[in-house]
Chains A and B, each alone.
Chain A
Amino acid sequence: GDSVTQMEGPVTLSEEAFLTINCTYTATGYPSLFWYVQYPGEGLQLLLKATKADDKGSNKGFEATYRKETTSFHLEKGSVQVSDSAVYFCALSDGTGRRALTFGSGTRLQVQP
């Protein structure tokens, strides 16, 4: 079946540090890939997405590139802020027409001033 694997958290960084959160996947067909973010006390929000190989999703300074050859969709940001502290979830929607999202376990990011 489909699966998403994320790096274990928490990830603790100082403000303005570079962020990478690793995500790899196993899926049937050609999935669409997503990063969702959950800020403290809030619901899940879509951060960015990519629907085909080599696409780069970007939003709020975050980027992720759909790498079919390595089945990866790593999240990066060049300079994190305290306000980026949240839980980040990698997810996929497989290419078979099944609409359910399969989520990774989430990675908690803590940014210290």
Chain B
Amino acid sequence: GAGVSQSPSNKVTEKGKDVELRCDPISGHTALYWYRQSLGQGLEFLIYFQGNSAPDKSGLPSDRFSAERTGGSVSTLTIQRTQQEDSAVYLCASSLTGQGKNEQFFGPGTRLTVL
């Protein structure tokens, strides 16, 4: 597709359940990012992938959060044992790599609601 796509668009889950969120970046973009947008915290960086490796995981809030990227393309963000404070919109972005190429293109997000 032309842009970054994310699925599902909405996810409602019960406290304690695990969830997986998927991101398909723009074809050819080697860098992929996950952010979280919540009312109390604004837009927060979670993790950055370059290819299949994650040189920056500094934004993951706890060890319940993990992410992987395969084939230099699709990425999955997994939240284990979800808590109500995990409720937020999870945004994925992708970009090219190189000097002056940090223009990040965002997907529409996955709205996660933990009951």
A residues less than 8 Å from B91 (CB atoms): 43-44
Interface residues of B (CB under 8 A from A): 31, 33, 35, 42-43, 45, 48, 50, 56, 58-59, 91, 93, 95, 100, 102-109
B43 touches A103 (CB 8 A): yes
B42 touches A105 (CB 8 A): yes
In the complex, whether A93 has a CB less than 8 A from a CB of chain B is: yes
A residues less than 8 Å from B102 (CB atoms): 32, 93, 99, 101
Taking A99-B33, A99-B48, A100-B45 as known contacts, 20 extra A-B pairs with beta carbons closer than 8 A to each other, sorted by chain A number, are A36-B106, A42-B108, A43-B91, A43-B108, A43-B109, A44-B93, A46-B104, A46-B105, A91-B43, A98-B56, A99-B31, A99-B56, A99-B95, A100-B33, A101-B33, A101-B35, A101-B102, A101-B104, A103-B42, A106-B43
B residues less than 8 Å from A42 (CB atoms): 108
A-B contacts, 9 of them at CB < 8 A, read: A36-B106, A44-B106, A99-B50, A100-B33, A100-B58, A101-B33, A101-B35, A103-B43, A106-B42
A102 touches B100 (CB 8 A): no
Per the bound structure, the CA–CA distance linking A106 and B104 in Å amounts to 17
In the complex, whether A25 has a CB less than 8 A from a CB of chain B is: no
Taking chain B's interface residues, is the majority helix, strand, or loop, or is none over half, making it mixed? strand
Nearest Cβ in chain B — how far from A58, in angstroms? 15
A102 touches B109 (CB 8 A): no
Interface residues of A (CB under 8 A from B): 32, 34, 36, 42-46, 49, 51, 89, 91, 93, 98-106
A residues less than 8 Å from B106 (CB atoms): 36, 43-45
Taking chain A's interface residues, is the majority helix, strand, or loop, or is none over half, making it mixed? strand
B residues less than 8 Å from A36 (CB atoms): 106
